[in-house]
C-alpha cells in the first residue's frame, strides 16, 4: 500500500515537473497591430512566428492580436513602454510623438519608389534610427513596411491637388502628414486607425489615405468609392518590442527575435509589392473608381512647403543624408 502511494506520489511529482518545464519552455509573446488578419502585417507576423519557433525550438509562441484589438498605434506604443504588450507592428504615423528623429521618414515624396525606401531603411540610416528607439523606452527589431499611401474619398474624383481642396481627410496622428495636407488646402483630421471605418461610414470625414493593402484588407472600399493613386508618401512600418520583455532575454534569444523580425519584414514587403498592382484590380472589381492618371509632380509641388515646417524644427542633416544616399 505504502509502496503504491510512493509510486503515485512519484508519478505526480514527475508530471508536475514536466508541466512546469513545459510552461517555462513556451513563453507566449503578445503581438498587436491595427490591420486585419488578412493584411500585410499579419502575413509578416506569421513569418515572424514561424522563424522564431524554428530558431528557438518552440521556446517562444506568438499570440497575434490584429484589428486594433489592443488599441490604436499610439496606445500600443505606450503599451510597449509599460510592458503590457510585448511586440507591436506599427506604421511610423504616431511614432514621431515618441521618437522625433523618425519624422523625417514621413515627409511627402521623400522616396521615389519601394527599392529606394527599402534600401535606406535596410542600410546605415535605418539601423541608426532603429538604435535610437532605445533612447525612448522602445526596442527597434526591424523596419518593415506599410507602403505608399493613396487618397480615397466619397465626394469626387481627385486627379489634381485642386480637386482635393476643401475635403476633410482623416490623417494619422503625424505632424508632417498634417502639415503636408494643410499646404494642399485639405482639412486634416487626425484620428487613430481603429476609429476610421466608422468615421468614414458616418461621414465624419470625406476621405482618408492609406496603402492598397490597408484599403483592401481593412474593407475601406465598402465606405469609400473613389481611389486616387497619388502615392504621396511612403509609409514605413516598424516592429517594436517592449524593453521590459527584451531585458528578460539572453543575447542568443535577442538574436532570434531580430532574425525572426527580418523574416517577417520580408514577407510583409512581398505582399505589399504584390498588392500594389493586384490589389488595385481587386478594388476596381469591388466597385471603386480608380484615378490612375495622376501627375505626381503637381502634388509634390503643392506639399513642398511642408519641408520647411520640418527643417525649421528638426534641421536638414538627416534629410540630406537620405537624399544623398540614393
Taking the complex as a whole, the smallest distance from the CB of residue 225 to ligand EAX amounts, in Å, to 19
Taking the complex as a whole, the smallest distance from the CB of residue 129 to ligand EAX amounts, in Å, to 17
Instruction: Tell me whether residue 215 or residue 256 sits nearer to ligand EAX (CB atom).
Output: 215
170-175-181-184 Cα dihedral, nearest 10 degrees: 160
3-state secondary structure of 313: helix
Instruction: Tell me whether residue 56 or residue 180 sits nearer to ligand EAX (CB atom).
Output: 180
Supply 302's cell numbers. Answer: 503643392
Taking the complex as a whole, the smallest distance from the CB of residue 288 to ligand EAX amounts, in Å, to 17
Residue among 61, 286, 293 nearest 158 (CA): 293
Answer for the pair 220, 152: CB distance below 8 angstroms, yes or no.
yes
Place of cell 503578445: 30
Instruction: Tell me whether residue 99 or residue 256 sits nearer to ligand EAX (CB atom).
Output: 99
Instruction: Tell me whether residue 60 or residue 267 sits nearer to ligand EAX (CB atom).
Output: 267
Radius of gyration of the chain (CA): 22
Taking the complex as a whole, the smallest distance from the CB of residue 235 to ligand EAX amounts, in Å, to 6
Taking the complex as a whole, the smallest distance from the CB of residue 114 to ligand EAX amounts, in Å, to 16
Taking the complex as a whole, the smallest distance from the CB of residue 242 to ligand EAX amounts, in Å, to 18
| CA atoms of 247 and 106, how far apart (whole Å) | 30
Q: Which residues pair with 145 in a beta bridge?
A: 236
Instruction: Tell me whether residue 34 or residue 242 sits nearer to ligand EAX (CB atom).
Output: 34
Instruction: Tell me whether residue 195 or residue 281 sits nearer to ligand EAX (CB atom).
Output: 195
Using CA atoms, how far residue 114 sits from 42, 121, 233, 258, 291, in Å, is: 20, 11, 11, 22, 21
Taking the complex as a whole, the smallest distance from the CB of residue 166 to ligand EAX amounts, in Å, to 21
Instruction: Tell me whether residue 161 or residue 211 sits nearer to ligand EAX (CB atom).
Output: 211
Answer for the pair 95, 151: CB distance below 8 angstroms, yes or no.
no
- In this structure, is the dihedral angle defined by the CA atoms of residues 306, 100, 256 and 80, taken in order, positive or negative? negative
| CA atoms of 173 and 71, how far apart (whole Å) | 14
Q: Give the interface with ligand EAX as residue ranges (CB under 6 A).
A: 34-35, 73, 90-91, 93, 146, 172, 193, 210, 214, 235, 237
Amino acid at each position: 500500500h505504502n509502496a503504491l502511494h510512493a509510486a503515485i506520489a512519484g508519478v505526480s511529482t514527475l508530471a508536475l515537473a514536466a508541466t512546469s518545464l513545459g510552461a517555462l519552455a513556451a513563453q507566449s509573446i503578445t503581438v498587436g497591430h491595427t490591420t486585419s488578419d488578412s493584411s500585410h502585417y499579419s502575413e509578416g507576423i506569421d513569418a515572424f512566428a514561424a522563424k522564431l519557433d524554428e530558431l528557438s525550438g518552440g521556446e517562444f509562441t506568438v499570440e497575434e492580436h490584429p484589428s486594433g484589438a489592443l488599441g490604436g498605434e499610439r496606445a500600443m506604443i505606450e503599451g510597449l513602454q509599460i510592458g503590457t504588450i510585448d511586440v507591436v507592428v506599427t506604421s511610423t504615423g504616431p511614432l514621431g510623438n515618441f521618437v522625433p528623429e523618425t519624422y523625417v521618414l514621413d515627409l511627402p515624396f521623400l522616396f521615389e519608389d519601394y527599392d529606394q525606401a527599402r534600401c535606406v531603411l535596410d542600410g546605415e540610416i535605418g539601423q541608426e534610427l532603429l538604435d535610437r528607439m532605445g533612447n525612448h523606452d522602445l526596442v527597434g527589431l526591424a523596419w518593415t513596411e506599410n507602403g505608399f499611401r493613396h487618397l480615397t474619398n466619397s465626394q469626387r474624383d481627385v486627379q489634381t491637388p485642386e480637386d482635393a481642396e476643401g475635403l476633410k481627410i482623416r490623417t494619422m496622428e503625424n505632424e508632417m502628414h498634417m502639415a503636408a495636407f494643410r499646404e494642399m488646402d485639405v482639412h486634416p483630421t487626425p484620428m487613430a486607425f481603429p476609429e476610421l471605418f466608422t468615421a468614414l461610414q458616418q461621414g465624419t470625414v470625406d476621405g482618408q489615405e492609406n496603402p492598397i493593402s490597408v484599403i483592401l484588407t481593412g474593407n475601406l472600399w465598402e465606405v469609400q468609392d473613389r481611389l486616387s493613386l497619388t502615392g504621396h508618401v511612403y509609409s514605413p512600418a516598424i516592429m517594436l518590442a517592449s524593453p521590459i520583455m527584451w531585458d528578460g532575454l539572453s543575447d542568443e534569444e535577442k538574436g532570434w527575435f531580430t532574425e525572426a523580425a527580418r523574416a517577417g519584414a520580408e514577407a510583409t514587403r512581398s505582399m505589399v509589392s504584390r498588392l500594389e498592382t493586384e490589389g488595385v484590380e481587386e478594388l476596381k472589381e469591388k466597385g471603386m473608381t480608380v484615378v490612375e492618371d495622376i501627375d505626381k509632380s503637381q502634388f509634390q509641388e503643392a506639399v513642398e512647403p511642408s519641408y520647411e515646417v520640418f527643417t525649421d524644427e528638426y534641421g536638414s542633416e538627416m534629410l540630406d543624408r537620405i537624399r544623398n544616399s540614393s
